[in-house]
Amino acid sequence: MRAEEPPEDSAQTDIPGESLDPESAPALPAASLASHALAALTSVREAARTVRPSAKIGTVADIWRLAWPVMLSQFLVNAVSIVDIAMVGRLGADSVAAVGYAAQFFFLAQSALISVGFACVALVAQSLGAGDRESARQATAASFCVSVLTALALTVPILAAPRTWLNLLSAEPHVIERTLPYLRLLLCSASLLGLSMVFDASLRADKNTTTPMLIALAVTLVKVALNILLIFGVAGFPRLELVGAGIATVVSQVVGVACYIFVARSRPASTIAVRRADLRPACTRVADVRRIALPGVLERVVLNFALLSYFAILGAYGTVAVAAYTVGVRVLSFSWIPGTGYAAAAATLVGQALGAGSPKRAERVGWSAAGLAVATAIPLGAACALGRFELAALFIDDAETIQTLGPFMLCVALAQPMLQLHFTLGGAHRGAGDTWTPMLAATLGNWVFRVPLAVLAGVVLHTELVWIWAALIVDHAARAVWLLWSFRRGGWKQRAARITSRQHPGSSAAR
């Protein structure tokens, strides 16, 4: 039976325990104040509800209200990555290349953990949309279990034979020696990162994007401070170079998890405040998390193995090409931030709208977020393209690497509108619990276009490096077209209805 549409002015934002308006967040950048600030502002938010009508889910203001803290969090995450490269860049191209090789394996684990986070957002948001906070906590607990197991499954095989994996990427022997200790430290932090991602996802699904932003700021400050002390041996600390950067990463992840635990203990009504009573029912929810996360994990594995193949082709062009790619991705990652923020907002709002039985409102969210993402991408891409050499010079002082970076950054800048579009529409699909479609899009873009074109250019035709870079544009264009077609077709609505009917048989979305 077709789900009945609730009235457009229904109080969809008045979900019990809804997070605070991010614009009301305290300006003090101390993560230790996050939970106190949230608690203190609850009464202010409740008072505001009595004097103004509830906003309609899906407006540009709703999307922006949820997106901007995510964007700032992503800015901080990328700032840490840039700081790493800026500092390691002073150690030479070999060290930068070592970071690049290690990052490929870490990104594999990170990407799979992101997929578990997407599953958590979908399940928690739909539970909240159906008014079931207990189910939301159980979904969070199940996501913790799946996240830790996923991290171990991906990192243990790499840690068992890291030299073998680096040889497969055509790394030069002296670069491998620099990479090994840094790689081990990065992979040891993966389980901690997985826990943080689930905390983050559960809070975002409850429309609380401010707390993760504050915690990201605390993690950034710790990471940058330890980088300065340990990479260069400042203030009496030993000069550890890449090993110091790895230690800083592990310690900063510990700080992040500790901050989330503090918030959970201070906010017992939060979706991350998992109780002992939630653990046994959570065991039955593991299958739900796995079912939604598996296509996302496969998507990330497909994507990262494609990137590893792409990286191996780059390795044949020498260490400078690898160093250029490593720096370029981090510099231009700042222009991807809007798409990440809009995707997070779309996932939350789409999930809650579908859980409340309003597929039309969910569709409106997706199109609004996609329009915002493309409109933002154009000026950012243009700025990156016009200032590509100047940006590169800020992060590495090797002239040959800077010149190699120019064409790469231009290609990625040209791909920005398509990249932002598929980021955002991918988030909308995942909020509905449809993780298969983004996985198929990633497979299409990478294994039908990007890797074959790179092999053709680099291995068969032995072209100049710029043609390897150009394969990126085709990859992102293919993914954007696929997701546009899928979102317009609307199959994601039926997937969401099946998920809701299994978990909340009495909800309006299930009827």
Alpha-carbon span 196 to 176, nearest angstrom: 30
The reported pLDDT for the residue numbered 44 is: 30
Measure Cα distances from 168 to 161, 220, 329, 377, 430 in Å. 11, 33, 21, 35, 33
The reported pLDDT for the residue numbered 34 is: 27
Separation of CA 160 from chain center: 27
**Which ranges in 130-209 belong to alpha helices (H)?**
133-160, 162-168, 173-188, 190-205
Instruction: List, in order, residues 6 or more apart from 499 with CB less than 8 Å away.
Output: 122, 123, 126, 288, 292, 433
Counting residues of the chain whose pLDDT is more than 90, the rounded percentage is 11
Q: Mean pLDDT lowest for which of 46-60, 281-295, 347-361, 422-436?
A: 46-60
Average pLDDT over residues 424-433: 86
- pLDDT at 423 > cutoff 50: yes
Alpha-carbon span 208 to 178, nearest angstrom: 40
- pLDDT at 471 > cutoff 60: yes
Q: Mean pLDDT lowest for which of 16-20, 404-408, 426-430?
A: 16-20
Q: Give the pLDDT band of residue 25 (cuts 50, 70, 90).
A: very low
Q: Give the pLDDT band of residue 258 (cuts 50, 70, 90).
A: very high
Average pLDDT over residues 450-477: 89
28-41: burial string, b at 16+ Cβ within 10 Å, e else: eeebeebbebbeeb
Average pLDDT over residues 317-340: 76
Alpha-carbon span 152 to 135, nearest angstrom: 26
Alpha-carbon span 472 to 362, nearest angstrom: 30
- pLDDT at 112 > cutoff 50: yes
Measure Cα distances from 182 to 104, 478, 501, 511 in Å. 12, 35, 46, 53
- pLDDT at 480 > cutoff 90: yes
Alpha-carbon span 275 to 183, nearest angstrom: 35
Average pLDDT over residues 185-199: 90
Among 31-35, 39-43, 109-113, 471-475, which range has the highest average pLDDT?
471-475
- pLDDT at 28 > cutoff 70: no
The reported pLDDT for the residue numbered 49 is: 34
Beta carbons of 319 and 172 less than 8 angstroms apart: yes
Largest CA distance in the chain: 70
Q: Give the pLDDT band of residue 502 (cuts 50, 70, 90).
A: low
Higher pLDDT, 448 or 6: 448
DSSP 411-455: HHHHTHHHHHHHHHHHHHHHHTT--HHHHHHHHIIIIIIIHHHHH
Helices (H) and strands (E) in the chain, counts: 20, 0
The reported pLDDT for the residue numbered 500 is: 59
Beta carbons of 44 and 24 less than 8 angstroms apart: yes
Q: Give the pLDDT band of residue 499 (cuts 50, 70, 90).
A: low
What's the whole-model pTM score? 0.63
- pLDDT at 323 > cutoff 80: no
Beta carbons of 235 and 65 less than 8 angstroms apart: no
The reported pLDDT for the residue numbered 452 is: 92
Average pLDDT over residues 1-22: 33
Beta carbons of 193 and 219 less than 8 angstroms apart: no
Beta carbons of 504 and 510 less than 8 angstroms apart: yes
